[in-house]
Amino acid sequence: MKTLLSIRDLENLSGVKAHTIRIWEKRYNLIRPERTSTNIRYYKNTELKKLLNVSTLMNEGMKIGELAKLSSHKLHTTVEQLQNKDIETFEKLIMNKMLIATLNCDIFLFEKCYSIYVKKYGFEATVENLLFPLLIRIGALWTTNKLTIAEEHFSSQVVRQKLFSAINEIPSKKSSTKFLIYLPEKQRHEIGSLYAHYLLKKSGVESVYLGPDVPLIYAKSCSEKIKPSHILCSFSIPLPKAKMMYYLASINEYFKDHKVVINMPKIDKFAITKYPSLSFVSSVDDLRNML
């Protein structure tokens, strides 16, 4: 984690506006900035944690005046008591903890939060309702330089390990329906595709996963060997429209004897019209419905 957090960092990480944070500083002495040798204000991780706890409790109806009187320990225990209130509150609390774990590359806290959620709601709910939203939030923070590539990789690699572990627990079996899954060249964010691989195997469908950054010609070569009934090509980042249409034309030609499913964040209606032989999905529910 960055050793120095600016007030804008606090805003982005907690969702509390910088203007509001300044007011809370002056009026309630809620958090205490420190200064560098060049007199630049900064905040420690403990102040971020306190701010996250305050924000959570305010969402539950508590007033800033009463919260400002509580010690950091009391804020923490009050937040902990909310965990059993309802699933929405529980998810917010776990999400905040896992964000802190990511910022600190704290594998023990991350694993603890993961285990608590899995025990309460199961693996699939954990992936869909906790880990996917967490990765989206972390990705947004990374793109705005609020955390480093190392911290982003920390969380995504832990999630990948969880998915691989769950996949490996499902015995492979032969089936008349066989999927070949891959991500095209320069598409490297494979969490969604790994989860699709997991869901397919769990449903009893034979599935072969090639991974990210696979040139189309090699996906075609592999398909000739394993003879899948379905091709699932996943785009984690959409291509410019012209490039996407060219790729769709190519995959439509390469796999004209297969059922081809294209997974992309946003489905282009023109693509559906132009390539009626291709199927398009954009969510886990779409994939489940297809199965």
pLDDT surpassing 70 at residue 27 = yes
Say which CATH architecture domain 173-290 belongs to.
3-Layer(aba) Sandwich (3.40)
Q: Which whole number is the average pLDDT over 182-197?
A: 95
What is the rounded average pLDDT for all residues in the chain? Answer: 89
Every domain range in the chain assigned CATH 3.40.50.280: 173-290
**Residue 49 and residue 153: Cα distance in Å, rounded?**
22
Chain segment 47-73, per-residue pLDDT in tens: 888 898 898 888 888 899 999 998 888
Every domain range in the chain assigned CATH 1.10.1660.10: 1-78
Q: Please give the CATH number for the structural domain made up of 86-169.
A: 1.10.1240.10
Per-residue model confidence (pLDDT) at position 117 = 93
Per-residue model confidence (pLDDT) at position 80 = 76
Q: Please give the CATH number for the structural domain made up of 1-78.
A: 1.10.1660.10
> What pTM did the predictor assign?
0.81
Every domain range in the chain assigned CATH 1.10.1240.10: 86-169
Q: How far is CA 256 from CA 136, 211, 223, 224, 276, in A?
A: 34, 22, 12, 13, 12
Q: Are 198 and 226 in contact (CB under 8 A)?
A: no
